[in-house]
Amino acid sequence: MNLAQSTYKNDYDVFVSHCMEQPAVLFRTRFSRCCGLLYFVACRVLGTEQGAEDVVQNCWLTASCNPPYFETEGAFRSWLVRILFDEALAARNRAAHERRELNRSDSALAERDLPEIVTRECFARQMSR
C-alpha cells in the first residue's frame, strides 16, 4: 500500500466514523457514489434510457426507508444494485403488461369498429356455407 492509498484509507475511516453519528449523511454520500452504476444497470435492464431515472429514484426510496450499515463500500453497492435490479424488472414487467393490455383493447376495438362481414365469426360462417 502506498502513501496515497494509506492517506485515503485513513481519511475514509475518519469520514465513516464521523458519519456514524449522522447515518443519513453517510447513506446519501454512498448512494451518490453509486448513481452512475445504478443508472447504467437500469438502462441495461430496461433496454432504454426511458424510465431509468424513475427506477433509480424508486431504488433510492426503497433503500432509504431503513438502510442497514455496511462496513465496505462494495457490500453497500451490491445491496443497492440488487434493489435496483428488482425495481427495474418490476418496471419492465409493468410496461410489458400495459402493452399487452393496450394491444388487447386495440384489437377488441378494431373488431367492434369493422363491418360484420370482416369479423372472424362472420368469416367463419361465410366459409362454412
Q: Which residue has the cell 433496454?
A: 47
pTM of the prediction? 0.62
Whole-number Å distance between alpha carbons of 103 and 98: 9
Predicted confidence (pLDDT) at residue 112 exceeds the cutoff of 70? no
pLDDT tens digits for range 80-108: 999 999 999 999 999 889 888 888 776 66
Q: DSSP secondary structure string, 78-115?
A: HHHHHHHHHHHHHHHHHHHHHHHHHHHHHHHHHHHHS-
How many structural domains are present in the chain? 1
Q: Which of 28, 19, 35 lies closest to 64, judged by CA? A: 28
- Sorting pLDDT into bands at 50, 70 and 90, what band is 2? very low
Q: Which residues constitute the domain of residue 50?
A: 3-128
What does R_g of the chain's alpha carbons equal in angstroms? 26
- Sorting pLDDT into bands at 50, 70 and 90, what band is 14? low
Least confident stretch, 1-15, 63-77, 99-113: 1-15
pLDDT tens digits for range 20-71: 556 788 888 889 999 999 999 999 999 888 899 999 999 999 998 878 888 8
pLDDT at position 17 is: 60
Find out whether 45 and 89 touch, Cβ atoms under 8 Å: yes
pLDDT at position 1 is: 44
Q: Which of 39, 59, 55, 40 lies closest to 95, judged by CA? A: 55
In one letter, which amino acid is 115?
Answer: P
